[in-house]
Amino acid sequence: MSPDPYAWSADLDGLLVVAVLAGAYAVGTRGVVVARWRVVCFGTGLALVLLTHVTPMAAIANNYLLSVHLLQNVVVAEWAPALCVLGVPPALAARLARPPAARVATHPAFALPAWVAVYVAWHLPVPYEAALEHPGTLLHLEHASYFASGVLLWWPVLQERPHAIGAGLKAGYLFLAFVLASPIGLLLSLLPEPVYGFYEAAPRLWGLSALADQQIAGVTMAVEEAVVFCAACSVYFLRFLREQEREETVTSGNR
């Protein structure tokens, strides 16, 4: 009997992550003045993690549709980590960045390849289907690695410690992230046959064939990454241009 696609679930994966992160944030910000917008960002990031794990999105992703599963992955690997990193106040970020391991892990030269490697590895058919067939172990590991690598990806962009990089480098870093990750979605949208046997054999939902589901998944992933990374890249590129303009104005004034 197929699972109810519209059932809510008490997913320990999401609940535990949210509880641990919320507790760590409360302890870490004790005695620290935190801007309200940062608290809202962090809370929204945690809410997105819950959304992907306890709502019907989880049941549909784990049993029926690749397109919903890829959307779940995007939220866990990109949106939620970005909001959580943005929600960390500078004082807490400085403490977290102090250990040597944190300095290495958050360096752009490590963080971006790590995120891309996690993304590519889990989208290969064998590990992807193994995670779906072992939701109590490998699927939890998949989601945890997505979130952790997503935090590393966004840290050098949204935090100044331990690596304060310029707006121009941030724009280039984000553009490179888009270039390296976008082929996954494009490939899925263009392949003439379903890649994942798990979803090919899954009960059909909403009248979508396995191939149509895969094509929707690929297009959705490619469009989402174009919007998120290009928008963020544009913000920092415009900031870079303003910085250059100010420098030229100062230089001209000193002549």
State yes or no: pLDDT of 254 exceeds 70: no
Chain segment 109-160, per-residue pLDDT in tens: 999 999 999 999 999 999 999 999 998 899 999 999 999 999 999 999 999 9
Chain segment 88-113, per-residue pLDDT in tens: 999 999 999 999 999 999 999 999 99
Report phi then psi at 253, rounded to 5.
Answer: -70, -25
State yes or no: pLDDT of 68 exceeds 90: yes
| Count of CB atoms situated within 10 Å of the CB of 144 | 14
Q: Are 81 and 41 in contact (CB under 8 A)?
A: no
Nearest Cα neighbor of 84 from 135, 22, 139, 134 is 22
**pLDDT band at 11, cuts 50/70/90?**
confident
Is residue 90 included in any domain, yes or no? yes
Chain segment 200-222, per-residue pLDDT in tens: 999 999 999 999 999 999 999 99
Over the chain, what is the mean pLDDT? 93
How far is residue 165's CA from residue 141's CA, in Å, rounded to a whole number?
31
Is residue 7 included in any domain, yes or no? no
Is residue 79 included in any domain, yes or no? yes
Is residue 6 included in any domain, yes or no? no
Is residue 216 included in any domain, yes or no? yes
Q: What share of the chain is helix, strand, coil (3-state, %, to 5)?
A: 75, 0, 25
Is residue 69 included in any domain, yes or no? yes
Is residue 165 included in any domain, yes or no? yes
* This model's pTM is above 0.85: yes
What range defines the domain where residue 187 resides?
12-253
- As for how many domains the chain has, the answer is 1
State yes or no: pLDDT of 1 exceeds 70: no
Written as one letter, the residue type at 106 is T
Is residue 58 included in any domain, yes or no? yes
How far is residue 82's CA from residue 79's CA, in Å, rounded to a whole number?
5
How far is residue 87's CA from residue 47's CA, in Å, rounded to a whole number?
13
Q: What is the pLDDT of residue 112?
A: 97
